[in-house]
Amino acid sequence: MYLPEEGKVVNLTPPAVKSSAGVSAVYVELDKYQHVDFVMQFGSCSSIASDVVTMKQATSVSGSGSSSLAVNGYYHNRTALGSSSIANDTLTRVAKSSMSSSGKKFKLASNSVSNQVYVIPVDAAMLADGKKAAGIAVGTLGKCALAISAILSGPRYASQSPPSAL
């Protein structure tokens, strides 16, 4: 598989240090794709354990008609938190039953631990009727470096330049 031909990588929030600020919901459109993985990468963190990630759905990427979106869990590198070793690429599945609001929210783990990665998979079939966009929002963060990307896959038509998702 060649990702640039069979999927799309979207930089939803550029890497930045957040301090007493959250990330408003950012969306990608799924009407031309079957799946999206939201990838949250944290650098240096001082306080994030009580912060909440909320999954969203909307009729468009502008966020119109938004509501919460239930997902089937997420993945996190819990087994090697704070490690810069190769073992830090091991992601552990966190089940929907461990999330709040029936899979619509979850708290970030481990206060003051750097080098955390979260992957939240969303299938287009999870969206309610009339909803075309999936999104993610993060509550107020303590001082923390964060980047959020979306990796879309399963385009309706593979091409050298898959359709925009924004």
Domains of the chain and any CATH numbers: 3-155 (2.60.120.380)
Handedness of CA 40, 46, 48, 49 (dihedral sign): positive
Least confident of 69-73, 95-99, 119-123, 127-131: 95-99
Whole-prediction pTM: 0.88
**pLDDT interval class at 60 (50, 70, 90):** very high
Q: What is the DSSP letter of 166?
A: -
Least confident of 1-5, 74-78, 132-136, 144-148: 1-5
What b-and-e string marks burial along 113-134, b requiring 16 or more CB atoms within 10 Å of the CB?
bbbbbbbbbbebebbeeebbbb
